[in-house]
Amino acid sequence: MILAVDAGNTLVKMGVVSPHAVLSRIAAPADRCVTPSDLAGLATTAIAQAPNAMVRRVAVSCVVPRLRPLIWEALSGLPVPGGLGPLWVRNDLRLGITVATRRPECVGSDRIADAVAASELFGRPVIAVSCGTTLTVTVVDADGMLLGGAIAPGPVAAARCLASATGQLPDVALDSEMESVVLRALGRDTDEAIRAGVLHGLIGGLRSLIRGIHDELRARPPLVLTGGYAEALARCIGPEANVVRDLTFRGLRLIADRNPD
């Protein structure tokens, strides 16, 4: 079993992951994780919520530079058998796929973990989509090459951008379920108009990206969705969308298994 750490722009998530299941999960807002003790407390709670679990390794995906030294200090002292320090996901590990972008070292560790898990669960080629603070689309071809993909603002980031870049538009809260507005394209007031524009724009943009990827690959790979908006996006895209809640955690476990030392 491993302790998986997924440190993103909005949340820091931790969980104990076995070969077959996620045994525990806990999350905290990233902006409230300001000391190593904050993160050590999360790790301790995640492990405590998985009774009798023997954590043999810690695997980390972190896309927030300020959190890296805090995570290192918080997790380096965990009692892991063999004294192995945290495994930080990067492109040159044994992944089971090859990061084949122009600058492999710049591909986010969360995208790598998602691609590894999606490839294992659904085969190759495959398209992995994560929708949280950002919308990321990551493509692995039939030869196991992570070719790249697309990055766009997630719904919350898009709404905040409208508020910060304009003089009158409010910062509108968005429901991750999206049920009430996805069916309505015609907003009856400013808040509704922003929700309609952001969410329908996100859905339309993702559909366009998927069509373009199909054309470029000359194939229709499985589509795997994860992140806070995955369920809502899947309902809008249709039956070809597969939702895997803990895709990043699963990828972290696979990477830890493939890099035992």
Instruction: Quote the pLDDT of residue 87.
Output: 94
Mean pLDDT confidence for 78-102: 88
Mean pLDDT confidence for 49-78: 91
Query: Is the full-model pTM beyond 0.85?
Result: yes
Tell me: pLDDT of 240 over 60.
Answer: yes
Tell me: pLDDT of 231 over 90.
Answer: no
Residues catalogued as catalytic: 110
Tell me: pLDDT of 235 over 60.
Answer: yes
Could you give the percent of the chain with pLDDT greater than 90? 69
Instruction: Quote the pLDDT of residue 70.
Output: 95
**CATH architecture for the domain at 92-254:** 2-Layer Sandwich (3.30)
CATH class of residue range 1-88: alpha beta
Work out the angle between the directed axes of helices 190-217 and 155-165 (0-180°, nearest 10): 130
Mean pLDDT confidence for 42-46: 93
- Residue carrying structure tokens 């490839």: 119
Are 209 and 136 contacting, i.e. CB atoms less than 8 angstroms apart? no
Residue of higher predicted confidence among 110 and 84 = 110
Per-residue model confidence as pLDDT tens digits over 161-192: 999 999 899 988 876 555 555 667 888 899 88
Mean pLDDT confidence for 4-27: 95
Mean pLDDT confidence for 125-138: 94
Question: Residue 46 and residue 87: Cα distance in Å, rounded?
Answer: 18
Instruction: Quote the pLDDT of residue 33.
Output: 94
Domain borders along the chain are 1-88, 92-254
Question: Residue 197 and residue 152: Cα distance in Å, rounded?
Answer: 15
The pLDDT confidence band at residue 82, using thresholds 50, 70 and 90, is low
The pLDDT confidence band at residue 195, using thresholds 50, 70 and 90, is confident
The pLDDT confidence band at residue 110, using thresholds 50, 70 and 90, is very high
Question: Residue 39 and residue 7: Cα distance in Å, rounded?
Answer: 10
Question: Residue 178 and residue 158: Cα distance in Å, rounded?
Answer: 15
Mean pLDDT confidence for 54-71: 94
Let me know if the fold of 1-88 is the same as that of 92-254: yes
- Residue carrying structure tokens 């076995």: 18
